[in-house]
A and B are shown apart, each in its own frame.
Chain A
Amino acid sequence: NAGVTQTPKFRILKIGQSMTLQCTQDMNHNYMYWYRQDPGMGLKLIYYSVGAGITDKGEVPNGYNVSRSTTEDFPLRLELAAPSQTSVYFCASRALGANTEAFFGQGTRLTVV
């Protein structure tokens, strides 16, 4: 049972480069989220999706883009990497309903130099 899978686990980017963080879930969950966690800090919501074809901005969306063409996949795109985007990125999914817990991927540690 894979749950939520994120790739890659680690990445170093140069300033100005682009990359896509992949996230896929096999639980048929409607809701998917991207959070970032800066060192010693909590989780900040970047983008979220309540279903295929629907995405919404979270607390810190600038510098990122997402798409949700299928229920399973929710990739996060960084177009022009900046040092401020150095962080650990977590993807999560939830089933329908406010009472459901979120399942998290293992995280992607991104460093922008």
Chain B
Amino acid sequence: AQKVTQAQTEISVVEKEDVTLDCVYETRDTTYYLFWYKQPPSGELVFLIRRNSFDEQNEISGRYSWNFQKSTSSFNFTITASQVVDSAVYFCALSETPSGNTPLVFGKGTRLSVIA
């Protein structure tokens, strides 16, 4: 069965600090996809990134970077030089099976507070 664990419930950092949000997943499939979503205080869910199980290259997008390591079943998310606007709940999610018939399974989320 698929499972996503985000062990950090809440994190507080001071503006301009770097912060890493951890995500550990479990799956029996060899083909799967991982996602990160952001939920700002306004409540909507915003897609950030997807990564497939065959691509272990790290991804960088501006101040955001993602580190995917199959050996440790982790897909961690780092924000460099954090800003107050980064304050949000961040969710990691997993999708199994090539057909995608199984729904996205979400972790419980990590609430990030960036203090000015």
Closest approach, in angstroms, between the C-beta of A104 and any C-beta of chain B? Answer: 4
B residues less than 8 Å from A41 (CB atoms): 108-109
* Interface range, B side: 20 to 34
* Bound complex: CA A100 to CA B47 (Å): 11
When A and B form their complex, what is the total count of cross-chain residue pairs whose Cβ atoms lie within 8 Å? Answer: 62
* A98 & B32 in contact (Cβ 8 Å cutoff): yes
A residues less than 8 Å from B96 (CB atoms): 98
* A107 & B47 in contact (Cβ 8 Å cutoff): no
Closest approach, in angstroms, between the C-beta of B24 and any C-beta of chain A? Answer: 14
Give the nearest-CB partner of A30 in chain B.
B100
Interface: A74 (CB within 8 A): no
A106: contacting residue among B43, B98, B108, CB under 8 A: B43
Interface: B45 (CB within 8 A): yes
For window 55-85 of B, CB contacts with A under 8 Å fall at none
Give the nearest-CB partner of A88 in chain B.
B43
A98: contacting residue among B33, B43, B107, B108, CB under 8 A: B33
* Bound complex: CA A104 to CA B91 (Å): 13
* Bound complex: CA A104 to CA B99 (Å): 20
* Bound complex: CA A96 to CA B97 (Å): 12
Closest approach, in angstroms, between the C-beta of A102 and any C-beta of chain B? Answer: 5
B residues less than 8 Å from A102 (CB atoms): 35, 47, 93, 104
B residues less than 8 Å from A33 (CB atoms): 103-104
Closest approach, in angstroms, between the C-beta of B113 and any C-beta of chain A? Answer: 13
* A50 & B52 in contact (Cβ 8 Å cutoff): no
Q: Can you list, as one digit per residue, whether each of A86-108 has a CB less than 8 Å from chain B (1) or not (0)? A: 00101010101111111110110
List residues of A whose CB falls within 8 A of some B CB: 31, 33, 35, 40-43, 45, 48, 50, 58, 88, 90, 92, 94, 96-104, 106-107
